[in-house]
Structure formats: structure tokens, C-alpha cells
């Protein structure tokens, strides 16, 4: 497929029925920050705009291993997990050499951020952020700590399910995606307005799959989470 046809395939119009609405009453802060005017189409401009590099040329050898990339005097606390999967375009083709970034709470459910005042301990050996590039098969892999649930004040006794945030830039700016990955069997999913705000038919695309294939024996359990950047099977946006 030549460059022009590939751009056209990647940048077909988004199917907004696959994504949560900008404003969802159960997710209170979305009411305050959602746009009040319809989007302005910029398809032609986006087709010709290559995604910037965003520092991918400065990747370090430990950036994808969150169990060591911020360690100061020991290993971080919590359950070690491997998170892996493939980044695909709408035709199921691998998106190669693209930057994948993640951020998350620690095992106690707290972020390394001054805005997070949850009464849970910070881990001096865990930053909760990592990045990597996909390989020729579009595959990425992170070694990290399973994040904990945390209260978030959206409503009475509100708790966010364990999740990991993903940011992907794809091959063009029009394929940018920010999303969240959840864990199978989490009882908080049924109570979470952010997850429930996603269209019912698309919610399973946000839940990872436990797999022994990615599990490192005696060391870390494995979860698989494939991400589709555009098209009818696109992974829903955050």
C-alpha cells in the first residue's frame, strides 16, 4: 500500500458511537470540561500532518520497566505484572515503531502528583510512568506493578477500578489516542461512571485479558491489551 492510500485508510472518519460522550452525567467533571460547540473538521490537514517524534529518540533502556526505572533503594511494593499487546490500525495491520506511554497509580492507589492527596503511602521506588516503541509486529511490552483502586470524590463512596492510562501517537496526529486499560473481573467496573460511560458494546475493548503466555514464571503475571487506533473496532478514548 502506498503512502497516500495508507494515510486515507488510517484517517477514515471516526465512528463516535464507539466512544464515550464528552459529557456524561454520572462523571461529574465531564459536565464542566466538555465542549459546548461541535468539532471543526480538519481531515485534509490531518492527512498531511505526520505525528511529531515526542522525544522517542531519547528512550532509555529501562523506560519500559517501571519496577526499576525509578528505584532508589529497592524494588517497588506490590504485585508485579507484564502488560503487553499489539497496536493495530483499522485494517488489523501492525502500527510499527510508534510511541506508547503509560502512567498509573502505585499498588496503594496513589499517583506521584501533588494533586493526589489520597491518604495512601507513596512508594519511593515507583514513579508510575513508562514508555516504549512498538516492534515490527506492532507489539509493546511493559513490566510494572498492578495499580490499586482509589477514592475519587465523584459521588458518595466512589472508587476508581484499578487501571493504567495509555497515550499513543500512531503514525499521524489524527490517530492520537488516550485511553485506559482495566483488569478482568474487577467488581468496581460495574460502579464506575467512566467505564460505564463507554458505549455498552465497546466496553470489553477496555478490559485486558489474563494470559499465561505473557506471564513470567515465578515472577510476574501477564495481561494482554490490544489497541486499535481507528475504525469500527477502535479502542474507546478516555
Residue 230: closest CA among 145, 191, 162, 172: 172
- The string of pLDDT tens digits covering residues 55-89 is 556 789 999 999 999 999 999 999 999 999 999 99
Predicted local confidence at residue 230, as pLDDT: 85
User: pLDDT at residue 2 above 50?
Assistant: no
Alpha-carbon distances, residue 68 vs 75, 120, 217 (angstroms): 7, 21, 19
Does this model's pTM top 0.85? Answer: no
From the CB of residue 147, how many other CB atoms can be counted at a distance below 10 Å? Answer: 27
User: pLDDT at residue 210 above 80?
Assistant: yes
Whether 150 sits among the annotated catalytic residues: the reply is yes
**Backbone φ and ψ of 55, nearest 5°:** 75, 15
99, HSE (Cβ side, Cα atoms, 13 Å): 20
What is the Cα–Cα distance from 104 to 166, expressed in whole angstroms? Answer: 9
The active-site residue, picked from 27, 140, 150, 172, is 150
Whether 33 sits among the annotated catalytic residues: the reply is no
Confidence band, pLDDT 50/70/90 cuts, at residue 13 = low
Q: Which residue has the higher pLDDT, 232 or 202?
A: 202
Q: Which residue has the higher pLDDT, 150 or 173?
A: 150
Whether 163 sits among the annotated catalytic residues: the reply is yes
| Greatest alpha-carbon span in the chain | 54
The active-site residue, picked from 7, 160, 205, 230, is 160
What is the Cα–Cα distance from 215 to 230, expressed in whole angstroms? Answer: 29
Tell me if residue 31 falls in helix, strand or coil.
helix
- The string of pLDDT tens digits covering residues 214-233 is 999 999 999 999 999 988 88
The active-site residue, picked from 163, 172, 195, 205, is 163
Confidence band, pLDDT 50/70/90 cuts, at residue 26 = confident
State the average pLDDT for the chain: 86
Predicted local confidence at residue 225, as pLDDT: 98
Amino acid at each position: 500500500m502506498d503512502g497516500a492510500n495508507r494515510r486515507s485508510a488510517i484517517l477514515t472518519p471516526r465512528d463516535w458511537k464507539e466512544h464515550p460522550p464528552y459529557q456524561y452525567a454520572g462523571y461529574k467533571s465531564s459536565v464542566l470540561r466538555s465542549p459546548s460547540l461541535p468539532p471543526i473538521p480538519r481531515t485534509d490537514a490531518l492527512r498531511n500532518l505526520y505525528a511529531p517524534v515526542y522525544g522517542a529518540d531519547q528512550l532509555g533502556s529501562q523506560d519500559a520497566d517501571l519496577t526499576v526505572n525509578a528505584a532508589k533503594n529497592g524494588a517497588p511494593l506490590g504485585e508485579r505484572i507484564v502488560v503487553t499487546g499489539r497496536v493495530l490500525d483499522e485494517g488489523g495491520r501492525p502500527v510499527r515503531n510508534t510511541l506508547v506511554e503509560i502512567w498509573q497509580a502505585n499498588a496503594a492507589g496513589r499517583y506521584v502528583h501533588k494533586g493526589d492527596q489520597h491518604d495512601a503511602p507513596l512508594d519511593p521506588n515507583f514513579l508510575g510512568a513508562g514508555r516504549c516503541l512498538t516492534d515490527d509486529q506492532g507489539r509493546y511490552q511493559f513490566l510494572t506493578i498492578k495499580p490499586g483502586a482509589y477514592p475519587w470524590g465523584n459521588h458518595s463512596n466512589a472508587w476508581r477500578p484499578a487501571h493504567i492510562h495509555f497515550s499513543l501517537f500512531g503514525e499521524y496526529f489524527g490517530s492520537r489516542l488516550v485511553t485506559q486499560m482495566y483488569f478482568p473481573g474487577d467488581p468496581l467496573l460495574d460502579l464506575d461512571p467512566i467505564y460505564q460511560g463507554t458505549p455498552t458494546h465497546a466496553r470489553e475493548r477496555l478490559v485486558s485479558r489474563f494470559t499465561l503466555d505473557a506471564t513470567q514464571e515465578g515472577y510476574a503475571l501477564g495481561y494482554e491489551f490490544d489497541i486499535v487506533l481507528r475504525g469500527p473496532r477502535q479502542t474507546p478514548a478516555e
